[in-house]
Amino acid sequence: MNSAPKTSNRRGFWPVALSVAVLLALGATAYKISKPSEPGRQAAPSENAASRYAPTPRAGVFRSTSPEDVQTFADWSGQEIEYVIDFSLRSTWDEIANPYDQLRAWQDHDYRIVYGLAMLPEAKHLKVSLAEGAEGKYNRYYRRLAQNLVEHSQQDAILRLGWEFNLGNWRWHPAEREDFIGYWRQIVTTMRAVPGGENLRFDWNPSNGGKRYDSTRFYPGDDYVDYIGVDVYDISWANNTYPYPSECPADCRLERQKAAWNDIYNSKFGLKFWSGFAAERGKPLSLPEWGLWDRTVNDGHGGMDNPHFIERMHEFIHDPVNNVAYQAYFEFDVGDNGNHLLSSMPESAAVFRDLFG
């Protein structure tokens, strides 16, 4: 989880007969894309270069390792949930390579799994480094993980390898460009080489926002990336945004929410930047985590119950210019780190159900 983020129209005058032929061809292509590749599982979304004909974004959610809670959210929201976000434990190499609880929980369900995959274990007594990973010293753990995914019918999983690496609290936060890129390529090459692992997909996934840390320096190359993802939450430290003043009626809150969205979207490494970067690389954009954030218990820099954020995110997600392949709301309360639950933010929940349901 994050610990801190036009429509193009076809133009021209075509003869009627040619227009019909084009529409039929597009319809046939759409059928081929949407047709399940195997019984009981959804086919992967289109992963061609960013296109004027962007597919409808697939809907997902994070509800911990709980198929029942995912179904409850789907019923409540009115969405067809096709993707689920999950994270394995990551204290040791064994937890990274053998996430059996998650593998077994999702094995008999039709969801496409999007795993947050650690690049290094977090146990402090383990002496590990990105540099050693770049030398191939940890490849065996990722080979075993790929084998596990295939054995548990999750050979089409999307792997958010080293997610939010631009945040300094992660052990895989890179200092040296060559170490991060070299290690990323080792992992991707190793996992794709496992029999049955050819359809594993890799999401290069920084967190949104900021002005100083240029995550693009650590982009591992188009051959090693299938999606460019960005995690985005309703948080801001810009002037006249959050926290709200003690006396701040509805109009005051809305003005600050608009200013926060401007920061989220237009900051140096904001959503507008990432949409453009993905388009330049010819990759679909993903939003593996997004959500509201009530940070009252710590610093107050979240918008809390903010329907304006939901509205703007809906516009962004469904604008074909942004070519969003999938998006997943982070429906979870993380305690001292803040609350994202729509169920505790009634105004936003109503707007979410109306727009996304």
- For residues 323-327, average pLDDT: 98
| Residue 26: band (very low, low, confident or very high) from pLDDT cuts 50, 70, 90 | very low
| Residue 54: band (very low, low, confident or very high) from pLDDT cuts 50, 70, 90 | low
What does each C-alpha distance from 152 to 18, 85, 91, 188, 307 come to in angstroms? Answer: 46, 16, 22, 19, 39
pLDDT digits (tens, 9 = 90+) for 245-268: 999 999 999 999 999 999 999 999
Helices (H), 63-209: 67-77, 93-97, 100-106, 130-134, 139-151, 177-192
Nearest Cα to Cα of residue 151 among 117, 114, 110, 103: 103
- For residues 312-339, average pLDDT: 97
Query: CA 103 to CA 96: how far, in whole Å?
Result: 12
Confidence (pLDDT) at 56: 86
Contact 206/271 with Cβ under 8 angstroms?
no
Sign of the four-CA dihedral 227, 233, 238, 240:
positive
Taking residue 227's Cβ as centre, other Cβ atoms within 10 Å add up to: 24
Least confident segment among 46-60, 211-225, 315-329: 46-60
Query: What's the chain's average pLDDT?
Result: 88
Least confident segment among 39-43, 56-60, 96-100, 189-193: 39-43
> Given its phi and psi angles, is residue 282 left (phi above 0), alpha (psi -120 to 50 degrees) or beta?
left
pLDDT at 75 over 60: yes
pLDDT at 326 over 50: yes
41 three-class SS: strand
Please name the amino acid found at residue 218.
F
pLDDT digits (tens, 9 = 90+) for 100-152: 999 999 999 999 999 999 999 999 999 999 999 999 999 999 999 999 999 99
- Domains within the chain, CATH numbers bracketed: 59-356 (3.20.20.80)
